[in-house]
Structure 1
Amino acid sequence: MENFRLKVFRTVAEGLSFRKAAEVLHLSQPAVSQQIRALEEEAGVRLFDRAGGEGHGTQIALTEAGRVLLKYANRAAQTMAEAQRALAALNHEVAGELRLGASTTVAQYVLPHILGAFLRQYPHVKLSVVSGNTERIVQVVAEERVALGLIEGPAMRREVKTERMTRDEMVLIASPDHPWAALKGSIDVAELAKVPLVLREQGSGSRRVVERALKHAGLPLKSLQVAMELDSTEAIISGVEAGLGVGFVSRWSVTKVLRLGSVRVVRIKGLQIVRDFSFVRLAGTEAAGAAAVFQRFALAAVATPEKSGR
């Protein structure tokens, strides 16, 4: 129901890229450029500063007029989304656009099982998902670019609030050839300082949770031998399989590789790293419309093993 030119404008403004907007909207780049030029002619102002044109890698920025229009375009999009939800409610349907944000582990291992079942039950919801590390998802929630976020670590910002979705455990994994893989018992936490570690990047919720737990267990972070910092759980699992070190990952992520035998879980004496996967939204707000329905659906799904796929 949103004006198409304004939707194109908002998409370009969000990524500051004609190419990225074309990919999101499933249009050609010339078609995106044409819509923006038509909107500029209609408004009588220039909306973007283009350094060197509109091609691949071009740096663009919103003009002052573009920043003003973006505020109203966002309001208009929200109003039309509310209208669509209200019209759907007359027929007792859940409909409209739902923009979610999900941190990396949640997006890869938890969300796909939930989304498939959700869309089968609510086919009139138009869903999009932004993924990134926890820090990134909290940022897009704070900027009101998504209706609801799902994260795997502490939010670390006052303008948002969190609510538990489910519990998760971080486990230490090693390759089958690692000396620890054959142990029947547990290792002491101090042993972690003697081996290369493969960790997530700074800003990752998983990284924060692991560092906090190790520090609390009396292992100084400066004593760790960080061999590599990687930007995804899959990369850590691959690095461990290749013998680059041991690493901490979500138990949700290792079901298949444990079954295949390509990694082993190593127990640590007196250390269990448990965390929350949480919903995150702007402080002072409540989930509404499709976001509220999705939140209730997700809570039910993760509480039922066959639905969550765990």
Structure 2
Amino acid sequence: MPLNLHLFRLFATVVRTGSFSRAADALSVSQPSISKGVRDFELQLGCRLLDRTSKGVTPTREGAALMRHADILFAAERSAEEELRALRSLDSGSLRIGASTTIATYLLPDFLGAFHTAYPGIDLQLISANTRDIADLMLRHEIEVALVEGPVDDDGLESEAWQTDVMELIVGPGHPFASAKEPINPMDIAGEVLIFREAGSGSREVVMQALAHHNIQPAKSFEIGSTEAIKQLVAAGLGVSIVSRASVKDQLALNRLKIVPMRGLRIERTLWKLSVPGRIHIPAATAFEDLISPPSKGARRSNGQLATAHQPK
């Protein structure tokens, strides 16, 4: 039979204080309430827990056995309460953030640094994975903040537009496109080896949709699960790729990559913040989302339906 923890607390307080009256004072309840609670506890367990004498009360053998567990049980309760208080504050606790690879690598570091400066007591954990994996983590409540590169159609999630990201065609410095004086014809991509991310990546989905919209079908492709690896392969001359502008700033500065404009084809994508409807945010998650939020709220996707969003041209 499950123990009634409220009645257990009344009984344990009587034992610790040595009397019903002192237990009532300690718990700020009436003495009759204490007496009735202990009596109900004994009836529930089917045994006498206290010997009552004119000098006070002492636990019976059964009562002493229960008291050996009281310290452990109520210490665990206090620990749980303290952890919950920490989660509801910004002085301590933790915040688990999940983000698609490009966001985690190139867009979040400055935000994470600013958050740590403002709230040094919060332990930060950043999980980097593709869009579908991040969505699954959010659904399982394994992360508190989720930022992804592609729209997610899932009845259990609501999506809010966060930022707009520009996707650029990149080539190595020795590629023929690199010397073009004007934007190239996007159809020329069809004759190139196109290097793109793995299935499930938001980057891949946006790029493939944009190319399909313009009836561009690359003759050859190369799939790899890392934007950093894509940049290195493009710089080495293996092929071309279309990646986030934010991801290539370092290689552009080193002249290892070049952005090539495409005539009549500009690929922009919305980056999304996911949430679980009805889920209560911990203060750390709210503070972080306030930090990364743009001045004006973006569009929303609810239950897979797009309200307003920029579509690739």
- Tell me, yes or no, if the aligned pair for 2:163 and 2:294 is still in contact at 8 Å: no
- Tell me, yes or no, if the aligned pair for 1:199 and 1:228 is still in contact at 8 Å: yes
Q: Aligned residues: percent identity?
A: 37
C-alpha displacement of 1:280: 1.1
Q: Which residue of 1 aligns with 2:310?
A: none
- Tell me, yes or no, if the aligned pair for 2:184 and 2:261 is still in contact at 8 Å: yes
SS at structure 1 position matched to 2:264: coil
For residues 192-207 of structure 1, the aligned pairs below 5 Å read: 192-207=189-204
Q: Which residue of 2 aligns with 1:105?
A: 102
Q: Distance in 1 between matches of 2:200 and 2:274?
A: 16
Q: Which residue of 2 aligns with 1:145?
A: 142
SS at structure 1 position matched to 2:150: coil
- Tell me, yes or no, if the aligned pair for 2:87 and 2:282 is still in contact at 8 Å: no
C-alpha displacement of 1:154: 1.3
Among 73, 82, 85, the residue aligned to 1:83:
85
For residues 75-224 of structure 1, the aligned pairs below 5 Å read: 81-86=83-88, 88=89, 93-219=90-216, 223-224=217-218
Q: Does 1:235 align with 2:229?
A: yes
SS at structure 2 position matched to 1:254: helix
Please list the CA deviations of residues 216-274 of structure 1 after superposition, one character each: whole Å capped at 9, or x if unmatched: 2232xxx3234311111101100100111000111001111111111111111111111
Change in 2 beyond 3 A, CA 1:169/1:132: same
Please list the CA deviations of residues 180-201 of structure 1 after superposition, one character each: whole Å capped at 9, or x if unmatched: 1000111222111111111111
Structure (1 or 2) with the larger CA radius of gyration: 2
Matched residue type, 2:120: P
Q: Distance in 2 between matches of 1:140 and 1:225?
A: 36
Matched residue type, 2:135: V
Q: Which residue of 2 aligns with 1:248?
A: 242
- Tell me, yes or no, if the aligned pair for 1:104 and 1:132 is still in contact at 8 Å: yes
TM-score (norm 1): 0.66
Q: Distance in 2 between matches of 1:115 and 1:217?
A: 38
SS at structure 1 position matched to 2:108: helix
- Tell me, yes or no, if the aligned pair for 1:95 and 1:290 is still in contact at 8 Å: no
Q: Gaps spanning 5+ residues in structure 2: where?
A: 1-77, 296-313
Q: Distance in 1 between matches of 2:79 and 2:159?
A: 25
- Tell me, yes or no, if the aligned pair for 1:148 and 1:287 is still in contact at 8 Å: no
Q: Which residue of 1 aligns with 2:62?
A: none
C-alpha displacement of 1:77: 10
Q: Distance in 2 between matches of 1:264 and 1:298?
A: 29
Q: Distance in 1 between matches of 2:266 and 2:212?
A: 13
Q: Which residue of 2 aligns with 1:261?
A: 255
TM-score (norm 2): 0.65
Among 276, 279, 282, the residue aligned to 1:285:
279
Q: Which residue of 2 aligns with 1:4?
A: none
When structure 1 is superposed on structure 2, of 224-233 and 260-269 the one drifting more is 224-233
C-alpha displacement of 1:136: 0.9
Change in 2 beyond 3 A, CA 1:80/1:212: farther
Q: Distance in 2 between matches of 1:250 and 1:152?
A: 10
Q: Distance in 2 between matches of 1:78 and 1:293?
A: 23
Please list the CA deviations of residues 206-225 of structure 1 after superposition, one character each: whole Å capped at 9, or x if unmatched: 00010111112232xxx323
C-alpha displacement of 1:287: 3.7
Change in 2 beyond 3 A, CA 1:226/1:101: farther
Question: What count of residue pairs does the alignment treat as equivalent?
Answer: 219
Matched residue type, 1:176: P
Q: CA RMSD in A?
A: 2.3
Q: Which residue of 2 aligns with 1:57?
A: none
SS at structure 2 position matched to 1:167: strand
Q: Does 1:272 align with 2:266?
A: yes
- Tell me, yes or no, if the aligned pair for 2:162 and 2:294 is still in contact at 8 Å: no
Change in 2 beyond 3 A, CA 1:123/1:190: same
Q: Gaps spanning 5+ residues in structure 1: where?
A: 1-75, 302-310
